[in-house]
Structure 1
Amino acid sequence: MQDVRPMAANDKVISHGPASQTLAQQLKRQALEKAATRDPNILSTEKVEPLDPLDFLEFKKDGVQQGVYKKLRLGKYQIDEVLNIKMMKFEQARQQVFDTLTQAHHRGLRTLLIQHGLGLNSKPFPAFLKSYLNQWLRQLPHVLAFHTAQKSHGGLAATYVLLQKNQRQKQTNRERHQKAK
């Protein structure tokens, strides 16, 4: 340390490339990059209100006719697609529900059956997936209504979901009804 002297104003500083990042800096950068790519999945992973495994799931948006909802509740609509999320891990089930319902809406499907099981022995509490499914279906803008299925379709372990028409179907309806006038 005896030969160390203060730098003068005209001394040149030589840089040997960027300093290596610490682990914390690398993790922070990865988190920022991940946030920048933004996950399109809007389904919440936040706290959910636990349901009893034997509870009915039921929901209807304002504007859905009572007759349409009754027909859904009684299982009288043709089931266009079945999604089975029984025994799936939480994040996998969340992604499957989002992807399947979004794709079904784009393809013009109207009624789906989601098999989620009762979840009597699920962890961290009974009916774990069923509770989250109840929350997730309410968050999706193209879900008009849902109801626990009839016994012939799975009963309390399954749910009917009614999706709204996509833009193509709405346009077809407008054209059909305009020609009739």
Structure 2
Amino acid sequence: MSTSEMEEFLTEMADVKPMAKSDTRSSLHKPMSPTEAQLARRQSAQAEQTSEGQGLSDHGLMLIAPEDPIEFVRPGVQHGVYKNLRLGKYQLDARLDLHGHSVNEAKQALLQFIEDCQRIEVRCALVLHGKGLHTTPFKGLLKSHVAHWLPQIPQVLAFHSAQKQHGGTGAIYLLLKKSEWEKSENRERHQKR
């Protein structure tokens, strides 16, 4: 910097005053322990989950019309995989028929079915929930519950209403996560390449 530039700079900066010193540090507090009310709410929520069948909640249930298709896909599921599921292109290795079940019976049967599918390494299954055309007081009650429960189950990657030959809007194709054994088998197969 030349002396003329330096003088010009100092002239421009002559009326600048330093900022007042203030304590600009953020105070970091240790997280407070939960209050008694918070602990009570947590305990109540945990008890409610246990009584509802492994955490499946009916809170926020939206009724679905009997003929409306239902669908769900978790983030990370490839578009092509979901498209093939939606079109019924995967082999269906298991089937669950929920016709004639009460809502509570259906919940337990669905949970047991998914657990069994995981144990015997089923990836794609068919669940027949029916359309609920004859249920009272609401049409499509069981279908609505199934559509509400499945996204709450971590093993479920995706589902979509079935093609007409498999039950149409009265059934769904269900895509499940791979078992730990299948995942390790895949890793080994891909490492050998």
User: Structure 2 counterpart of 1:56, which letter?
Assistant: P
5 Å matches for 1:47-126?
47-126=60-139
Which of 122, 147, 151 is residue 164 of structure 2 equivalent to?
A: 151
Q: Distance in 2 between matches of 1:114 and 1:157?
A: 9
Deviation at 1:90, TM superposition (A): 1.2
User: Structure 1 counterpart of 2:113, which letter?
Assistant: T
Structure 1 length-normalised TM: 0.76
Deviation string 1:11-32 (CA, Å, 9 cap, x unpaired) is xxxxxxxxxxxxxxxxxxxxxx
Q: Distance in 1 between matches of 2:137 and 2:52?
A: 25
User: Structure 2 counterpart of 1:153, which letter?
Assistant: H
Give the root-mean-square deviation of aligned CA atoms.
1.7
Which of 154, 163, 166 is residue 179 of structure 2 equivalent to?
A: 166
How much identity, in percent, do the aligned residues show?
A: 44
User: Structure 2 counterpart of 1:138, which letter?
Assistant: P
Q: Distance in 1 between matches of 2:103 and 2:55?
A: 15
SS of the counterpart of 2:157?
strand
Report the more deviating stretch, 54-63 or 38-47: 38-47
Alignment partner, residue 15 of structure 1: none
Deviation string 1:67-124 (CA, Å, 9 cap, x unpaired) is 0001000000000101000111111101000110122112210001000111012123
Q: Distance in 2 between matches of 1:160 and 1:120?
A: 20
Runs of 4+ in 1 over 2 A off after TM superposition: 37-42
Answering whether residue 135 of structure 2 is matched by residue 135 of structure 1, we say no
* Count of paired positions: 146
Structure 2: give runs of 5+ residues left out of the alignment.
1-46
Q: Is the 8 A contact 1:43 1:98 kept in 2?
A: no
Structure 1: give runs of 5+ residues left out of the alignment.
1-33
SS of the counterpart of 2:148?
helix
Q: Distance in 2 between matches of 1:109 and 1:38?
A: 28
Distance 1:117 1:66, change over 3 A: same
User: Structure 2 counterpart of 1:121, which letter?
Assistant: H
Q: Distance in 2 between matches of 1:88 and 1:166?
A: 28
Deviation at 1:40, TM superposition (A): 5.6
SS of the counterpart of 2:88?
coil
Deviation at 1:133, TM superposition (A): 0.3
Deviation at 1:58, TM superposition (A): 0.8
Deviation at 1:41, TM superposition (A): 2.3
